[in-house]
Structure 1
Amino acid sequence: MRRITSSVLLRTLSAARGGAISFSVPNRFLQVALYGSSAGGARAPRRWWFTYGPFAGASLGVAGALATAVATTSAYQEVFAKEPPPPEALPNDVVLYQYEACPFCNKVKAYLDYYDIPYKVVEVNPLSKKEIKWSEYKKVPILMVDGEQLNDSSAIIDMLGEKIMSKKKAGEDDEETKWRRWVDNHLVHVLSPNIYRNTSEALESFDYITSNGNFSFTEKITVKYAGAAAMYFVSKNLKKKYNITDERAALYEAAETWVDALNGREFLGGSKPNLADLAVFGVLRPIRYLRSGKDMVEHTRIGDWYSRMESVVGESARVNA
C-alpha cells in the first residue's frame, strides 16, 4: 500500500504559494481556475476572467502548486511504500494473546500491521489470565503462528523476520539493535509511571483496556477498578526502582532522546522505518491519546515522527476471530 501524508501535500502547496495557503475556495472555483470552465459549461467569459483577469496569477499559482504536489506525491509514494512479505510466505493462522494497553503487545502489533500480516486477537483478562491457562508461559504477548507458540516481543519479531521476511537478526553493534534494546531497557520503564501516575490516569488507562477487551460487564468493572488500583501501586514501585523522580520529565526526555537519534532523518531506518522505529511507535501507540501521550506530543518534538509512523504503518491488519 502506497501513501502520502497530508502534511507533505500541505507543505508543497504552501511552498508554491509563498507559505500562505487557503482551502476556502469552493471546488467549482478551483475547476474554473484549472480548466477555464465550470461544471455547468459557461465557458468563454469565465475562461477569459481567470486567464486574463485579476485572478490569472492565482489560478496559475494553484495549478502549478497542484502539479508540483502530484510530482511530490509520486516521490513520497516511493519513499513510504510498504514492503509486505510475498503472499506465499504469509502464515495461515496468527493469533495474538495480549493486553490492549501492553507496550510489548503493541510492539508486536506494530510489526504485524506494518507488514500487513493478518492476525486475530485474544484479549487476556489481566487478573484471572484464564485465556492463557493452557500455556506454561504466563506473560503476554504470546503469538501463535500456525500452531507454533512464540513468546517475548523482541524474540517474536526476530522469529517473524526470519520465518516470513527472510531477514537475519542484525549485529549486536548495529544502530537498529542498539535502539531496540533502548526501547526494552529504558523507554518502556518510563511509561507505567506516566500511564498510572495518579488514580484518574490509571482509571483512564483501564477504561481504554476494558473497552477493547471481550469482557462481561462484571469483569469490566472488576478489571477497571482492581486493575487500576493495582497498577497505581506497581507504577510507584517502578518509579522507585528506576530512580524516576518526575514521571513526565522522564517521558519528555526519552522522547527528545529518540528525536535526536533520528538526526534529521524521516525514520531511524532512513526513508523507511526499521525495527527500532516500529518498536518505539508500538510501545507509544497505546498512550498516544491518553493524557500522558497528549502531554508528550505537546511538550516534545516527537509529534512529526509519530504522525509519519501512523501514516506509513496504516490500518490495522487485525481480522475478526
Structure 2
Amino acid sequence: MRGVNRFTLLGKAIRIDSTTISAISSGTIRHRLPQFAPYGTFSIGNTQWLSHSLIDHLGISNPSVVRSIGGVMYSSAAAASLNQHVHPDELPRAAEFKPKEVVLYQYEACPFCNKVTAFLDYYNIPYQIVEVNPINKKEIKWSNYKKVPIVTVEGEQMVDSSDIIDKLLIKMHPDYDLNGDEEKKWRGWVDQHLVHVLSPNIYRTVPEALESFDYITTRGNFGFTERLVSKYGGAAAMYFVSKKLKKRHNITDERAALYGAAEQWVDALKGRKFLGGSDPNLADLAVFGVLRPIRHLKSGRDMIQHTRIGEWYSEMERRVGQPSRISGQS
C-alpha cells in the first residue's frame, strides 16, 4: 500500500449528472479513479475516470474496502559490540553515506512520497526528483513496479516508502535497530491509522475537495487539459468516495478523527520534543511526511489551530530543513 496505482482517463469530456452522482454515491461504479490525490479509476460506460493511486495513498489497501467502493479511488559507525543497537538520538546525519546518484520518482502531493523526502531532507542526502505524470506514467515505464514512490540509488531500485527508508537507513547505519518497539509501533500507526483519516478530511466538503485538487494538479505533472479534468472530475468523485471511506473506517466526525489522531501523537511524545527524544526518529519523520501535503489545506490549518500538534510540527519543519533535492530532473 505504500504506492499509488495508475490514473487512467479515457474519453474527452467530463460527464457529471444526477445519474453519475447517484452511481458514485451508491458505490455501483466499477474500477478505477485518477491518480489525483495524495491520498483511485472508476469507469462510467467506456470512460475511465480516476485511478487506484489515490486509494493506495489514502491507506485503502484492504481489497474488501476497494471492492466496497467500486474500486474508486501509503548505525552508529562505532558500535561497541554486535549486541549493541544504535539509538535514534545517537544518529549523525548522513556523513558516510554519499551515493553519487539518488533519484526519487514521485507525485508531489503524495503523502508516502513525502515520507521519503522528509527522510532524505533530514539526513541531507542529495536527490533528484522525477515528477511522474499520473495519466501516462511514462517516467516509470522502465520499471516493473507501477507505483510511486520509487527510488534508485546508483541504479539500484527501491520501492514502498517504508522499505525505501529502512534500506537507506541501514546503508547509513548497519547496526540500527529497526525493531525498536516504540518507533516501530508508531511507524505502523502512521500507515494503518493516520492516513485513513486524511481523505475524509481533505474532501470533507465540495470547496475543500476543490482546494485539495487545485493543490494536487498545480504541483503535479499534468497537461493543461489533464489538470482541468482531474481537478473538477476528481474533486466531485472524491467528495463522494470520502463519505464511503468515512463509513468504512467508522468515522462519525471527520475533524474529530483528525484532531484525535493529532492529539494521540502528541500524547505519545510524553513531553519529549520528539518521539526520538532530542532528535526526530523514523516515526517523527513518517508523521511529519504524511501531514506535510495537507499542512496548508483547510484541514491542515484547522488541525494546527485546534490541537497541540503545532509546536511539534513547527520544530519538525525547522529540523528537517530545506529540501536537499538537486537540479537535473523535474
Question: TM-score by structure 1 length?
Answer: 0.70
Deviations for 1:198-241, whole angstroms, at most 9, x for unmatched residues?
22212211211222234332222223223323333332332222
Kindly provide the amino acid, as one letter, of the partner of residue 203 in structure 1.
L
- 8 A Cα contact 1:106 1:286, kept in partner: yes
Residue 183 of structure 2 corresponds to 176
Query: Any idea what the Cα deviations from partners look like across 1:250-295, whole Å, max 9, x if unmatched?
Result: 0000000000000110001110000000010111111111100000
* Residue matched to 1:83: 92
Residue 267 in 1 paired to residue 274 in 2? Answer: yes
Mapped partners of 2:121, 2:322: distance in 1: 7
The residue type paired with residue 120 of structure 1 is Q
2:155 aligns with one of 147, 154, 161: 147
User: 1:167 deviation in Å?
Assistant: 4.6
Query: Deviation digits for residues 88-147 of structure 1, max 9, x if unmatched?
Result: 522211111212221111111100010011112222233433332332222211112111
What percent of counterpart residues are identical?
A: 69
- Residue 99 (structure 1) aligns with: 107
Do residues 138 (structure 1) and 146 (structure 2) align?
yes
Residue in structure 1 matched with residue 209 of structure 2 by the alignment: 202
Q: Aligned partners of 1:167, 1:217: CA distance in 2, in Å? A: 48
Q: Which residue of 1 aligns with 2:46?
A: none
2: CA distance, partners of 1:146 / 1:231: 38
Separation in 1 of the partners of 2:279 and 2:320?
10
Distance 1:169 1:269 in 2: 13
Q: Is the contact between residue 158 and residue 169 of structure 1 (CA under 8 Å) also seen in structure 2?
A: no
Q: Whole-Å Cα distance in 2 between the matches of residues 286 and 254 of structure 1?
A: 16
More helix by share: 1
Alignment of 1:296-307 (within 5 A): 296-307=303-314
Give the partner amino acid of 2:131: E
Point out the structure with max Rg over C-alpha.
1
Residue 247 of structure 2 is aligned to residue 240 of structure 1: yes
- With over 3 angstroms needed to count, the CA separation of the structure-2 counterparts of 1:156 and 1:278, relative to structure 1, is same
The verdict on how the C-alpha distance between 1:199 and 1:122 changes in structure 2, with shifts beyond 3 A counting, is farther
Show structure 2 runs of 5+ residues with no match: 1-88
SS at match of 2:303: helix
- Write out per-residue CA displacement over residues 146-200 of structure 1, whole angstroms, 9 at most, x where no aligned residue: 11111111111001001234353422x6111110011110001111111111222
In structure 2, do the counterparts of structure 1 residues 167 and 102 end up closer, same or farther at CA, with 3 Å as the change threshold? farther
**C-alpha separation in 2, matches of 1:196 and 1:167:** 42
> Secondary structure of the residue that 1:89 maps to in structure 2?
coil
Per the alignment, do residues 236 and 167 of structure 1 end up closer, same or farther by CA in structure 2, a change over 3 Å counting? Answer: farther
CA distance in structure 2 between the partners assigned to 1:165 and 1:143 by the alignment: 19
Q: How does 1:18-57 map to 2 (within 5 A)?
A: none
The equivalent residue for 2:24 is: none
* 3-state SS of 1:150 partner: strand
Mind listing any 5+ residue stretches in structure 1 that lack a counterpart?
1-79
SS at match of 2:129: strand
Distance 1:83 1:223, change over 3 A: farther
Deviations 1:13-49 (A, max 9, x none): xxxxxxxxxxxxxxxxxxxxxxxxxxxxxxxxxxxxx
Q: Using the TM superposition, give the Cα deviation of residue 81 of structure 1 relative to its aligned residue in structure 2, in angstroms.
A: 11
Aligned partners of 2:135, 2:299: CA distance in 1, in Å?
24
Distance, in Å, in 1 between the alignment partners of 2:171 and 2:91 is 18
* 8 Å contact from structure 2 (residues 295, 301) kept in 1: yes
Q: Which amino acid aligns with 2:174?
A: S
Query: Measured at CA, do residues 197 and 275 of structure 1 come closer, stay the same or move farther in structure 2, by a change above 3 Å?
Result: same
Task: Rate the CA distance shift 1:129–1:223 in 2: closer, same or farther, 3 A.
Answer: farther
Q: Secondary structure at the match of 1:120?
A: strand
- Taking the aligned partners of 1:83 and 1:277, their CA distance within structure 2 comes to 16
3-state DSSP of counterpart to 2:305:
helix
Work out whether residues 82 and 312 of structure 1, in 8 Å CA contact, stay in contact via their aligned partners in 2.
Answer: no
Is 2:258 aligned against 1:251? yes
Which residue is 1:33 aligned to?
none
Total equivalences in the alignment: 240
Equivalent residue, structure 2, for 1:219: 226
